[in-house]
Structure 1
Amino acid sequence: MNEKTEVNMTIGIDKIGFATSQYVLKLQDLAEARGVDPDKYSKGLLLNEISIAPLTEDVVTLAASASNSILTDKEKEEIDMVIVATESGIDQSKAAAVFVHGLLGIQPFARSFEIKEACYGATAALHYAKLHVENSPKSKVLVIASDIAKYGVTAPGEPTQGAGSVAMLITQNPRTMAFNNDNVAQTRDIMDFWRPNYSTTPYVNGLYSTQQYLDSLTTTWDEYKKRFDWTMNDFAAICFHLPYPKLALKGLRKMMDKTLSQEKKDSLQENFDKSILYSQMIGNIYTGSLFLGLLSLLENAENLKAGDKIVLYSYGSGAVSEFFSGELVEGYETYLDKDRLSKLKQRTALSVEDYEKVFFEEVELDESGSAQFAGFENQDYALVEILDHQRRYSKVEK
């Protein structure tokens, strides 16, 4: 039997949801404030806007919002594992997943933990979830990719900042996309992007990181094709990790070989353009960027159908890369939000001055290690206080 068909059961993404912050910064305004040609952002990065998270919004609140948007009360009783992938963790010991588990009211007999490997972490979480469901077919696993990308005022990465969370319910007999048993991963011990414990912002070797992203793509793709006999003709679309969409476009061009017809190239390009729509309005969300691209593709592409295969390229600095694929399930459109673009346009736009105040505000604790917060009325979940160094979250009553 061909290796790529050796699957014991159908497992994949049953439902997928997303949440971002209520604030947005238009990069046209940022370019003017920084004395930069706006084309450097809109054409050089393929970015137009970035989401800005206030102090009361973090990876926990975003994760809870994304998850609650797709889960029923029944599913909260059936989930037996919660995994949060993040590189914006809020505690060195307690997992963000434990906070989310409590906020959502998921039944108590569930494992909850956090995974970290830069932007790759959610892909590892999906694989772990798949293995768990293979072992316990009645299980439902909530996998959440939640991050806030923050670089600093005037930093080279400033226009690629962002905030958001993608939640995925992983089950047997999924209703959105079934995984193929074809993961191929590669690890390289490099320093292209990192953030030591003592730093609130990352260190980036930008050109080197770009080179590693593209070289890892090429070498992992070659290994993937060799192991499973896939070619680009087998796939209706490819989704990329999206630190910024222009880098993914370079990746797409590397994968467009001479064997493809012009019609196939045009179709892949069309679907790529649909896959970056949300990222162009939100920016980089680290672990969630690949899956935000998948969501954007599914909710906006006009030429996809059940049975189509989609290949995904995951990359996390440091570095781990992976290719894997999935197949769209009959009726997948039922579980998507086709009105998301218009909802994103309803966010509150910030001036550059207000963005700098909101995004870079820091917690000021009193002598007891406590602080009270306000201004979170428009959030679904919020960090409402820190009491004796303990973060306290709450669902916001509307």
Structure 2
Amino acid sequence: MSVGIDKMSFFSSDMYLDMVDLANARNEDPNKYLIGIGQKKQAVIPNTQDVVTMAANACEKIIDDDNRKKIDLIIFGTETGVDNSKSAAIYLQNMLGLSRRARAFEVKQACYGATAGLQMAKEYVTNHPDKQALVIGADIARYGIKTPGEVTQGGGAMAMVVSSNPSMLEFEGPSTFYSDDIMDFWRPLYRTEAVVDGHYSNDVYVKFFKNTWDEYKKITGLSIDDFKAMTFHLPYTKMGIKGLRAILNEADEDKQEHLKQEFEYGRKYNENVGNLYTGSLYLNVLSLLNNSTDLQTGDRIGLFSYGSGAQGEFFSMKLKDGFKNDQLADQIDTDLKNRKRVSVEEYERIFNNWIPIKDGDINLDYENDSADFFLKGVKNHQRIYGRK
């Protein structure tokens, strides 16, 4: 029996900020953002969307009457939680009408949370093959107006159904992991914006990738030649390139060119959406599956997950017959194409209208939100959600 990802989906805002516009407004050479950072567009998240609503909007694309009855484990990976006690998974369970006879909880370790959830789901389904698990990676990346990290903002949600005999991807073999207590990125409880040491974080990211990759090769006997593609956590796509370059010297020239080409397919969604934190790796995977022209059933892909603070993990998955969902791929392409381009001034207004961390009722202008699930406001310390 195999266990893996049976379905995947993605949701983000219907607005974006063009990185050329941002560069011009910040008196920067656009190529610093387009090439140096590797980003073209950035999702702009309105205050009527939070991680719960984005997750619900992603899930409705892959939840049907069949798997709704089978899902009895809901794991929500996020570092943009809506409550310091109650998990986003409980809200999501209710919004989607999932079984009350389910475990539902939230996982936090920076951008690694969804991977932790995925690995827990793997073990659960292995022991309960007639059941399914729903794993979420949803976040909103905020660093602040005119900060060095501004170009690496974004947001969205990835949803994954884990099952036995999956249609898309199956887990293969062991994982390798590495952790250390470091301060490369963090967000204190009193802030909605992250604090980051960018250069340090880049160095740690590559170090953790090399550590987990080298350990993986030792315990499995596999090499770079055994992989059709490598996927990465992509807070910005140039970071993944740095990781890939760290091991390219292990391959011959033909293999190097192939891996670089697959990376280009894999970063298509990320470079047009921006940073999803916990969802970034899995958006990279979905982009690879939907856009590559050379993948085949049985191909092995590598996945490197990284969460600042810090935790890294490397594992592999093999492609199943239904790894590409053409209908969902077309829908994602259409949604990205039809987004509204906002000006820098509009983006700054939306950013500054974010729900503050303070007491008080809030009514939001949700009528203009085109998504099926949305946040209406806050009343008596409770978030009020709505559905079209």
TM tier, smaller = over 0.9
Give the C-alpha shift of residue 108 in structure 1. Answer: 1.2
Mapped pair 1:324 → 2:315: yes
- Give the unaligned 5+ runs of structure 2: none
Residue type of the partner of 2:262? N
Q: 1:363 is aligned with what amino acid? A: I
1:207 aligned onto 2:187: no
Match of 1:231 in 2: 223
TM-score, normalised to structure 2, is 0.97
Deviates most, 142-151 or 68-77:
68-77
**How far 1:74 moved relative to its partner?**
2.2
Contact 2:301 2:318 in 1 (8 A): yes
Q: Which sections of structure 1, spanning at least 5 residues, go unmatched?
A: 1-8
Query: 1:93-124 deviations in whole A, cap 9, x for unaligned?
Result: 01001111111111211111000000011111
Give SS of 1:269's match.
helix
Q: CA deviation at 1:365?
A: 10
Report deviation, 1:45.
Answer: 0.7
> CA separation in 2, counterparts of 1:271 and 1:16?
19
For residue 262 of structure 1, report the CA deviation from its aligned partner: 2.0
CA contact (8 A) 2:3 2:164 kept: yes
AA aligned to 2:67 is E
2:123 equivalent in structure 1: 131
Aligned to 2:52: 60
Would you say the 8 A contact 1:148–1:286 is kept in 2? yes
Q: Deviations over 1:226-283 (max 9, x none)?
A: 011111111100000101111110111111124x232211111111000000011000
* Counterpart residue type for residue 265 of structure 1: Q
Which residue is equivalent to 2:161? Answer: 169
Once the two structures are aligned, what percentage of the paired residues are identical? 43
TM superposition shift of 1:83: 0.7
Partner Cα separation in structure 2 for residue 315 and residue 350 of structure 1? 31
Alignment of 1:106-255 (within 5 A): 106-255=98-247
**Alpha-carbon contact 2:190-2:357 (below 8 Å) kept:** no
Question: 1:24 is matched with which residue: 16, 23, 41?
Answer: 16
Local SS of the residue matching 1:55: coil
Moved more, 387-396 or 233-242: 387-396
Alpha-carbon distance between aligned partners in 2 of 1:232 and 1:249, rounded to the nearest angstrom: 16
Match of 2:344, as an amino acid? Answer: V
- Partners of 1:231 and 1:366 lie apart in 2 by 52
CA apart distance, 1:371? 2.0
Please give the residue correspondences for 1:363-382 in structure 2 after superposition, counting only pairs within 5 Å.
363=355, 369-375=360-366, 376-382=368-374
Residue of structure 2 equivalent to 1:100: 92
In the alignment, the residues of structure 1 paired with residue 265 and residue 325 of structure 2 have an alpha-carbon distance, to the nearest angstrom, of: 18
Match of 1:360 among 337, 342, 352: 352
Using the TM superposition, name which of 328-337 and 311-320 deviates more.
328-337
Deviations 1:126-148 (Å, cap 9, x if unpaired)?
01001111121111000000000
Secondary structure of the residue aligned to 1:180 is: strand
Distance 1:379 1:354 in 2: 19
Number of residue pairs the alignment of both structures matches = 386
Q: Is the 8 A contact 1:145 1:288 kept in 2?
A: yes
Q: Is the 8 A contact 2:56 2:373 kept in 1?
A: yes
The one-letter amino acid of 2:6's match is: D
Residue 299 of structure 2 corresponds to 308
Structure 1: distance between partners of 2:363 and 2:289:
40
Instruction: Give the AA of the match of 1:269.
Output: K
> What is the CA–CA distance in structure 1 between the aligned matches of 2:106 and 2:172, rounded to whole Å?
25
The Cα RMSD (Å) is 1.5
Give the Cα separation in 2 of the matches to 1:310 and 1:68: 27
Give the Cα separation in 2 of the matches to 1:330 and 1:255.
Answer: 29
Cα contact 1:241–1:314 (8 A) shared by 2? yes
Q: 1:365 to 1:196 in 2, by over 3 A?
A: closer
